[in-house]
Chains A and B, each alone.
Chain A
Amino acid sequence: MINVTATPALPLGDDALILSHRLGEWAGHAPVLEEEVALANIALDLLGQARVLLSLAGDEDELAYLREERQFRNLQLVEQPNGDFAHTIARQLYFSTYQELLFEHLAAGESELAPLAGKAVKEVAYHRDHAEQWTIRLGDGTDESHTRMQRALDTLWGFTGEMFEPVDGLEAVSWATLHDAWTTRVTAILGQATLTIPEGPQRGAWTAGAGRQGIHTEPFGRLLAEMQHLHRSHPGATW
């Protein structure tokens, strides 16, 4: 049985952990070496955040490697597969913009999350900038890159609504204000990139809105299997 303290650090830590793992999947596959290093840097920043946050909720290794799928509280957005490079950038743009706004708010507060948020917000600002720079270049690039970037934004749009659902323990956050600020920023960047902000519901017909309750999408099981199999096969192994 894994001891888990009820704290908002758990869902936020799961976001960072799972997105870190997804970005790590680019190692050896990124379009160019320079970009591979950039994605790995972002992944490592997120892993560092995850370690601090999960340690507030319990034992970081137990939480990462021994929980079942239904016990993870991350957003469904961050577990979505990397897809092509445009999908990865769209996921980064949506999530980093959200994370920066949320951490800015938390950093100004008094909660146990304030110190971590204050440190992480500088990292996240860079993640958001990285995603914005690529969004602009892909959107305002060739016909092919524009088409792919728009397709990625449209595909992931249905997972963005969940970000603004209230999180237990973060009652001081005004989620509607956060949502407005997020929409303003993303709209501005997409305009600069000659892309169109997707229309339609920000949640899927049956899946979205449930990651925080432990309901995840199909690709998440395979991600967990890869992330956890070593620890489960060789408990306590060291090198």
Chain B
Amino acid sequence: MTTPRPTEGTATAGETTTRPTDWPLWEVFVRSRRGLSHTHAGSLHAPDAEMALRNARDLYTRRSEGVSIWVVPSTQVTASSPDEKDSFFEPAGDKPYRHPTFYEIPDGVHHL
């Protein structure tokens, strides 16, 4: 009797039953180093949050880009509408006094 072993060449066979599009989309936020906030890095598909976190680690931090990752279901993101762009953002355009341009920024403070 020989030892059973997996056959070669079946790598692509039978993989068609689950479409990757069945997996939800996740938004990935990466903190590049301590002191900075998490920044949107991109999105990916994953079956659940734990796997999304691992996929994010492989996709977005493999060149030492991060020290912390958040993943958020894309469906949980509420986005502003492009149609409301004017009422949302334009009123801030002519109010320079809201910008902290009148302060001296001390040397050595990089992320203000």
Contact = CB atoms under 8 A, between A and B. Distances in A.
Contacts of B112: none
A144 B17 contact: yes
Interface in B1-50: 1-15, 17-18, 20, 23, 44-48, 50
A34 B28 CA distance: 13
B2 A204 contact: yes
Given A34-B46, A85-B15, A41 B6 contact: no
A34 B58 contact: yes
Interface stretch (A24-32, A60-68, A164-172): A24-32
List the 5 closest pairs (A to B, CB-CB), nearest first: A83-B6, A204-B3, A32-B20, A34-B55, A87-B6
B52 to A, nearest CB: 9
Interface string A25-62: 11001011111011001000000000000000000000
Contacts of A26: 11
B59 interface: yes
Interface residues of A, number: 36
Given A32-B23, A34-B59, A208-B3, A83 B17 contact: no
Interface in A173-225: 204-208, 217, 219, 222
14 contacts: A29-B12, A34-B45, A34-B46, A37-B58, A38-B54, A80-B5, A81-B5, A84-B6, A85-B15, A156-B6, A204-B2, A206-B3, A207-B3, A219-B8
A227 B5 CA distance: 21
Contact of A82 (B6, B20, B50, B54): B6
Nearest to A154: B4
Contacts of A205: 1-3
A155 B5 contact: yes
B67 interface: no
A29 B51 contact: no
Interface residues of B, number: 31
Given A133-B50, A208-B3, A219-B5, A37 B15 contact: no
Contact of A222 (B8, B12, B59): B8
Contacts of A208: 3
B28 to A, nearest CB: 11
A105 interface: no
B51 A133 contact: yes
B62 interface: yes
Given A31-B18, A38-B55, A133-B51, A84 B2 contact: no
Contact of A41 (B4, B11, B58): B58
B19 to A, nearest CB: 9
Interface string B62-76: 100000000000000
A25 B11 contact: yes
A13 interface: no
A130 interface: yes
A204 B5 CA distance: 10
A155 B4 contact: yes
Nearest to B11: A29
Given A31-B15, A84-B13, A137-B47, 16 more contacts: A32-B20, A41-B62, A80-B6, A81-B7, A82-B8, A83-B7, A84-B14, A85-B15, A129-B54, A133-B51, A144-B17, A155-B6, A158-B4, A204-B2, A207-B2, A208-B3
